[in-house]
Amino acid sequence: MLRRQAKTSSKKVAKDRPRRLSDDGDSGRRTSDADLGGATYDDQYENGDVHNTGEGSGGSSGGGWWINCECFLSLLLVAVLVALPFNLHNAKDLLQSRDSYIVKAVEMIRVGACDDAVTLYERALIVEESATIHNQLADALSQCGRTNDALKHYMSSIRLEETGKRKVPSLMAVGDLYLKNTDYSLASKSFETIVSILQDEPTKDLVEAYMKLAKVDIGLRRFSTAYSHYTAASDLIIGDSMQAEVHYRMGHIALVMNRLPLAIDNFNVATTKGTPAQRSLFTHSLAYAYLEHGMLVEGNHALASLFASPSMYTEERYIRASFQDHHYPSGRTPSQYLSQLFDLYAYRHSIAAASSSSSSTVDTFRHLHGLLFESSVPAVMSAALRLRIGISDGDHWLDVVDFGCGSGHAMAWFRSLSSFVLGIDVSPMSIENARQLSLYDDLQIGDILDVGGHLPDASYDLVLAINALPYFGDLRQVFELAHRILRPEAIFAFNVDLLPRPDDDEQEHVDDAFSLRFSGRWTHNDAYIKQIVQQHGFVLLHEEQVDDDQPFFQPAPGVIQRRPYGKERSNVYLVQKLADHGV
């Protein structure tokens, strides 16, 4: 006999609970625990494990299977319905047009999300490949710093474009990337291709290609070719301000080649055609070209014109301070001024080394900018170092950092004493020259304080500052840095230009701790040096004075004169870090 189907309502469990009939037909007797396999009836009912006890039933009823299948199908349907909105969203996303991807990508670029822009451009390419999208994707990749990937897509854009003119934007971008990576050969090919495409129809792109070819030439130190490319650009330019900019660059190329009359001609064109904002910078270069060429009247006149105009550039304000009040608010030389000055000097020095006929112009440049003591200071410093610490050639145990290493020639006096040498300079061209000498284990471009700030504590035996401290008025930060990176009882070797004596006919503040000279270098009072040495935990080991010829002098503010005699003095100091001093 079949039992009645169990009810699910908890309120009717007791009432509707079925009774089990015994085999002998007796009713009302509950089955024993043994009859249910060790479990009570109540337990089985509550667990839903209720079996058919009738004969021939053969096991559980088919109703349970139907219920399970029905539940499974219901769950499956719910899952499909839940997932359906996402599937529809993805399908809609895949069906977007190429233009919608591009619009979104442009917006991502605008907010600085270049990675998202790259993804959108890649989807646009899937929808439709075109040269324009390859170019836009390459631009985005370039912004993300993925140069190699950008180059691939620029090349694809060039391949897909049908006309030469339409290839120009991608060719220009490719050339820019190669130029940025100093791959001058490939950069030159890109820009030369643009010139060949546009030479019959001059456009601003052709002017830009000539200008960038000149940059490539400068990187390769092909200055005559660079001048020719700037000339070609100048012939195509109509606007005065752009003409002024190109002639200013041509003037600097002429300076590098030590062709002062040509430089003066170009700077004159630049000052004539330049805007008021440009004119102060151009006049500054013109004044120095006149002075270097020995045209002192014209040079002083240009300086007067410069000082009468508003200060527009940091470099120009610094020069104004050096010629007039001899003080500058920051108490140090601007890095941009130093970088430009020593880049130019590095170029001119390398050319002069190959041509003895141009050495006189380089000497005049050195005197005008106070670039003196290049041999005397390292020679004296090296000898004093050997004497004071008892080191000999070939010992090779000093770990050295060279502040303001320049082109690296001074390291020849110290390399045989050194185990490791790091050179730091703000001028990229000077660092390039120094690298060719192979006297340094490491070379870094940057400001002394910035680069030195990342050096570990107590890691060097010798800090050199050869002709570097004259570009600082206030020396406290330099001494703090030197003290931090030197090991106990290690050496700081440096030189400073001395303030002129009262009888030197120089219009300067001889009683000040430091003063800025017309050369752009700071001079220091010896008493100030000894005070700052003591304050920063050093003891003086050696002091020695050297001098050098300096024909230029300043008899009055804003005026430069030349004399057949004249000396500049510099003091060389060796100081030792005290072992138990804390700054």
For residues 570 and 421, what is the distance between their CA atoms, to the nearest angstrom? 25
In this prediction, residue 77 has a pLDDT band, given cuts at 50, 70 and 90, of low
Q: What residue ranges do the domains of the chain occupy?
A: 367-577
φ, ψ (nearest 5 deg) of residue 541: -100, -35
For residues 182 and 176, what is the distance between their CA atoms, to the nearest angstrom? 10
In this prediction, residue 461 has a pLDDT band, given cuts at 50, 70 and 90, of very high
- List, as own/partner pairs, every contact residues 317-325 make where C-beta atoms lie below 8 angstroms and the sequence separation is at least 24, other chains included: 318/520, 319/284, 319/520, 321/516, 322/516, 322/517, 322/518, 322/519, 322/520, 323/518, 323/554, 323/557, 323/558, 324/557, 324/558, 325/557
pLDDT in tens, 134-147: 999 999 999 899 99
Q: Is residue 20's pLDDT more than 50?
A: no
- Segment 148-156 shows an average pLDDT of 94
What was the pLDDT predicted at 580? 67
pLDDT in tens, 256-306: 998 999 999 999 999 999 998 888 889 999 999 999 999 999 999 999 998
Q: pLDDT over 90 for what percent of the chain?
A: 66
Spell out the alpha helix ranges (H) of 237-354. Answer: 240-256, 260-273, 276-292, 296-308, 314-323, 335-354
For residues 116 and 105, what is the distance between their CA atoms, to the nearest angstrom? 7
Q: How far is CA 478 from CA 329, 421, 452, 453, 572, in A?
A: 17, 19, 9, 10, 16
For residues 106 and 428, what is the distance between their CA atoms, to the nearest angstrom? 36
What was the pLDDT predicted at 72? 58
In this prediction, residue 63 has a pLDDT band, given cuts at 50, 70 and 90, of very low
What was the pLDDT predicted at 504? 54
Tell me the HSE value of 217 on the side-chain side, using a 13 A CA sphere.
21
Q: What is the pTM of this model?
A: 0.76
For residues 426 and 422, what is the distance between their CA atoms, to the nearest angstrom? 14
**Cross-strand partners of 574:** 493, 542
For residues 136 and 147, what is the distance between their CA atoms, to the nearest angstrom? 14
Spell out the alpha helix ranges (H) of 60-113. Answer: 62-94, 98-110
Q: Yes or no: say if 107 and 141 are a contact pair by the CB < 8 Å rule.
A: no
Provide CATH code, domain 367-577: 3.40.50.150
- Residue closest to 507 by CA, chosen among 559, 472, 464: 559
What was the pLDDT predicted at 43? 41
Q: Is residue 495's pLDDT more than 60?
A: yes
What was the pLDDT predicted at 75? 60
Mean pLDDT rounded to a whole number for the chain: 84
Tell me if residue 25 falls in helix, strand or coil: coil
Burial of 559 (0-12, 13-18, 19+ CB in 10 A): middle
Q: Is residue 447's pLDDT more than 90?
A: yes
Stronger pLDDT, 192 or 390, i.e. the higher one: 192
Stronger pLDDT, 460 or 99, i.e. the higher one: 460
**Cross-strand partners of 332:** 472
**Cross-strand partners of 552:** 562
Q: Is residue 108's pLDDT more than 70?
A: yes
For residues 301 and 213, what is the distance between their CA atoms, to the nearest angstrom? 35
Q: Yes or no: say if 354 and 340 are a contact pair by the CB < 8 Å rule.
A: no
pLDDT in tens, 196-205: 999 888 899 9
In this prediction, residue 96 has a pLDDT band, given cuts at 50, 70 and 90, of low
Of the listed ranges 238-252, 298-312, 452-466, 495-509, the one predicted with least confidence: 495-509
Looking at the chain, the number of H-run helices and the number of E-run strands are 23, 11
For residues 388 and 444, what is the distance between their CA atoms, to the nearest angstrom? 29
CA 580 to chain centre: 38
Q: How far is CA 194 from CA 1, 147, 198, 215, 280, in A?
A: 100, 21, 6, 15, 34
- Under DSSP, the state recorded for 393 is T
Spell out the alpha helix ranges (H) of 220-259. Answer: 223-236, 240-256
Q: Is residue 358's pLDDT more than 90?
A: no
**Cross-strand partners of 547:** 569
In this prediction, residue 80 has a pLDDT band, given cuts at 50, 70 and 90, of very low
Between helices 184-198 and 164-180, what is the axis angle to 10°? Answer: 160
- Segment 313-340 shows an average pLDDT of 90
In this prediction, residue 91 has a pLDDT band, given cuts at 50, 70 and 90, of very low
For residues 105 and 135, what is the distance between their CA atoms, to the nearest angstrom? 13
For residues 7 and 21, what is the distance between their CA atoms, to the nearest angstrom? 19
Q: Is residue 186's pLDDT more than 50?
A: yes
Between helices 240-256 and 223-236, what is the axis angle to 10°? Answer: 170
The DSSP-derived string for 546-557 is EEEE--EEEEET
Q: Is residue 85's pLDDT more than 60?
A: no
Q: Specify the amino acid at residue 303.
A: L
What was the pLDDT predicted at 200? 86
pLDDT in tens, 540-558: 999 999 999 999 999 988 8
- Under DSSP, the state recorded for 469 is G
What was the pLDDT predicted at 557? 85
What was the pLDDT predicted at 47? 40
Q: Which two tokens stand for residue 363?
A: 């000497």
For residues 178 and 172, what is the distance between their CA atoms, to the nearest angstrom? 10
Q: Which two tokens stand for residue 18?
A: 């079925």
- Segment 157-182 shows an average pLDDT of 94
Asked whether the CA dihedral 124, 128, 131, 134 is positive or negative, the reply is: positive
Q: Is residue 36's pLDDT more than 50?
A: no
Pseudo-torsion of CA 163, 164, 168, 173, nearest 10°? 90
